[in-house]
Structure formats: structure tokens, C-alpha cells
Amino acid sequence: MTVKHFIDLEWKQYFRSAYWQKSIALNILMIFLALYFIVCFLIMGIALYPMLKDFYPKQDPLVMVNSYLFYYILGDIILRFFFQKLPVMSVKPLLTLPVKRNKVVHYVLRKSALSFFNFLPFFAFIPFSIMLLINDYSMLGVLTWLLTIVVLTLIINFLNFIIESFSAERELSVLPLILFAGSLFALNHFKLISFSEWVKIAFQSIYEQPVFVMLPILVLVALYFFNHKILSEKLYLDSSLKTEAEIANSSSMEWTKRFGDIAPFMQLDIKLILRNKRTKSSLWMLILGLLYGLFFYPQPTYQGLPWFFAFIGIFVTGIFLINFGQFIPAWDSGYYRLLMSQNIKYEQYLKSKFVLMTLSVIVLFVLSIPYVYFGWKILLAHFAAAIYNIGVNTHVIMYGGAFNRKKIDLNQRAAFNYQGTGAVQWLIGIPLMLVPLAIFGAAYWLLNFEIACAILILMGVIGIVLHPKLMNAITEKYQGSKYKMINAFTQDN
């Protein structure tokens, strides 16, 4: 068993999955996004040196860059936490074969070093280094500096997996990272401990004394082996087979009864959300989403941009809708064949999801009312966005679900299970937020704020009025792709 075999296995797994064949468009979109970022970074890398020279003629651009590296590191850690996942590999079939565990782990870790996230920075740092060399910086110093950046990128790469492996075991998966990054930032910001100064000094000394590059390399090696240790422990089946049977707590959820014939499905959906790790973590996203407005509204810049309010409104009131809705019906993929052979009406099944999403929008809107502190316009925009979410986005996302071909295995609790997470998850939310933003923005520029709100509300109301018709169309779409969905959901990977 060599690395060649591993690569061969993964290649087949990827291209033979039903998912790949159905989502070429999504893959193309990802490629375009990647190209876009590459170009952005390239331009930044080339322009950085002359720009810094221009604005701050008295300062050394390299020192300037070094003094901001701390923020770069923080940002990189946070971005990676949300977007980069440890490469998935189905290890179970390999465990009984004569393959050394060591080799599997080394392979997974090394593969992670090939992530796009590790290459992207160099589209900026390499041109910047070349500019440094052109401007008569010491050859050895610049090359060592660049090497240090490489090492730093890999350090962040492996640090991220350690953070992830720890947070994956906790309920509040996002919170530790936010606290960690937030407190580092705060300590630095209020000059209690000046991390940015330290980072600057460190990089500066490496530039002047290339020998010091050994220190970050040692850190990298240590992190690599720490990762190796964590993963090797998880490679034993008993960690996933261990009967850490949770004690089931059942409640009858009588209140759902008032929704009539969709009650059993609503109970099922609520239990789905509360009893699975994957879905529970998306509950915590609600809090984050609700606070999202606080990033913008306190800043005076955004007060002058009312067209932006609708976007935040869609996000704040629709975060559950986007998070939960995009995996309809994949949440039920594990037992989809049961549902399809039972005496159920597709419409009731879908209606329950619709009611759940609508309720979430209403609750989130009510919870977001305190934003009125930043101006009544915000409240109005949020209200319009909530109506739009209920009338339009719920239907759009459920219609989109009919094209869903990716299984989510809720039961699997193995260490390598990151299904359905990663960058793609966030891409799907874009049209749901950008379309209303475009409509709202256009109406705002051409007419005024109130009319823009009215248009969103009107679209939402039309959606609500047409709800029965839309549901029929959506139901038909699901029925049409029934066999394809069953087939895709019975596939592994």
C-alpha cells in the first residue's frame, strides 16, 4: 500500500459519487472563486510595496508588513476554522488491511498541506518578496523571511486542525475559537500585551539573523507530531464504536399538535435538530447570526448605507432558514427509503419544514427587535427582510432541495466525519442573500428607502399568497426526482 494507492482510492471516490456528477456547476463556481482570490492576492502582492512606499515614505515597507502580520495570523485562523476542514478519508476499510496506521495518518496530514488555503498567501507574498529583492534587500534575509511565511502558513494549517479536533467534541464548537481569537485581539488592541509588536520583532530578527528560522520550524514539527498523535488515537474503531450511549430524554411536544396533520413531522424535525451533533452546532450559529448586526450597526459608516440593512436583515432573520433549509431533504437521507414507503403525503413532509423555517424567521425577527436602538429604519428593513424570507426564500430553498443528492449520515460519529461542511455550504446562501440585496439596492437608488422596503414586503406577501400553488409545484418536483434521490441517498459518500 503506497501513497499512490491512497490517491487512486480518493480519486475514484470523488469522481464516482453521485454528488460530483450532479454538481458540476457548483464545482465550476468554486474554480471561479479560487481564480478570483488568486488574482486579488496577486494584485495585492505586486502593489503592496510601491503603495506602502508611497503613503509612508519614511517607513520600511517590510517592517510595516511585519507589524501587521499578527492580524493576518488571527484572520487566517478564524477563516480556516470556518472554511477549511481536515481532508476526509474513509479509513474504516483500511484498518483491517496490512496498512500501517502511521502511514494513513501521515498521508492525511500531508494531504492537508496541499490545501488551497496554504497556496493562496503565496500569490501575495512571493511578488512582495520579489519587489523587496528588486529594491536591494538582502537576498538571504528575504528568502529566509519568505521561508518563515511558508512555515507560518503550515503552522496555522496544523494549529487549525488541533483547534477543530478539540472544538468538535464540544457542544459550543465555535465559542472557544471566538473567545481565543477575541481575547488575543483585545489584549493586543488595548496594549496589555502587544502581540503584534512581538510578531514584528520575531520576523524582523529572522530577517536579520536567518538562523532564527529554526525556531518556527521546530514549532511546526512539534505541531505536526501533536496532530499525528491526536489522529492516531482516533484511528481506532473503538473510539467510534464505544457505547457512549446517551441517555435518551423524550418529551411529547404536545404544542406541535396544534399544527394538525404535520405534527408528527414537526416533532421529528425538532428531535432531529436537538439530538444530532451536526444540527446542534447549527443551532449555535443562530446566536452568532443574531449578533451579526452588531458588527455593522454600531459603526457610523454603515449608518449611512441603508441599502445594506436589508442584507443584514435577511441574514439575521434567515440564518436558521439558510442553515437548515439547504440540507432539505438530505437531513432525512439516512431513512429516506422508509419515508418513501410509508403512508405519507410529500406535501405534509415539506410543509412541516416550511412551518419550522417560518417560525424560526418570526422568532429571530422578534429577537432582533432591539436593533431598533440603532434606528427605526433598521427595524423596518428587518421586517421587510423577514417577510421576504418567509414568502420567497423558504420556497426557493425547498425547491433547491429537490436537486439535493448528497447524503448526510447523522449516525456516523467517527472522527473523520465532516460531511456537508466546508466552503460549499456557504456558497449556497449567496443567492438567497444577494438577490434581495440587489432588488432592495436598486429600488433604494432609483426611488427611496421606504419603497424599497415595500417592494421586499410585497414580494414576500405574493409568495405567501401563492404558497399553496408553490408548494404543489415543489412537491411535484420532489416526486419527479424521487428515484434519483433514493439512489443517491443509499450511496456512501
Partner 1 sequence: MIHTENLSKSYGTSTVLQIERLDIPKGQSFGLVGNNGAGKTTYFSLLLDLIKPTTGYVKNNGIEVHKSEAWKPFTAAFIDESFLIGYLTPEEYFYFIGELRGQNKADVDALLSQFEDFFHGEILKQKKYLRDLSKGNQKKVGIVAALIGNPEVIILDEPFANLDPTTQIKLKSIIKDLAETKGVTVLVSSHDLMHVTDVCERIVVLEKGEVIKDLATNEATLKELEAHFSGGELV
The residues of the shown chain that bind partner 1, judged by CB under 8 A, are 243, 245-250, 263-264, 267-268, 271-272, 275-276, 334-338, 340-344, 410-411, 483, 486-487, 490
Give me the least distance between CB of 343 and partner 1, in Å please. 4
Closest to partner 1 by CB, 122 or 489 = 489
Give me the least distance between CB of 114 and partner 1, in Å please. 34
Closest to partner 1 by CB, 268 or 461 = 268
Distance CA 388, CA 396 (A): 11
Give me the least distance between CB of 169 and partner 1, in Å please. 18
Give me the least distance between CB of 264 and partner 1, in Å please. 4
Give me the least distance between CB of 265 and partner 1, in Å please. 9
Closest to partner 1 by CB, 260 or 298 = 260
Question: Identity (one letter) of the amino acid at 369?
Answer: I
Closest to partner 1 by CB, 301 or 411 = 411
Give me the least distance between CB of 332 and partner 1, in Å please. 8
Closest to partner 1 by CB, 130 or 263 = 263
Distance CA 26, CA 427 (A): 9
Closest to partner 1 by CB, 210 or 264 = 264
Give me the least distance between CB of 269 and partner 1, in Å please. 11
Give me the least distance between CB of 458 and partner 1, in Å please. 37
Give me the least distance between CB of 249 and partner 1, in Å please. 8
Spell out the residues 6+ positions from residue 296 whose beta carbon is closer than 8 angstroms to its own.
302, 308, 312
**Nearest CA among 7, 3, 23, 1 for reference residue 406:** 23
Give me the least distance between CB of 286 and partner 1, in Å please. 20
Cβ-contact 157, 80 below 8 angstroms? yes
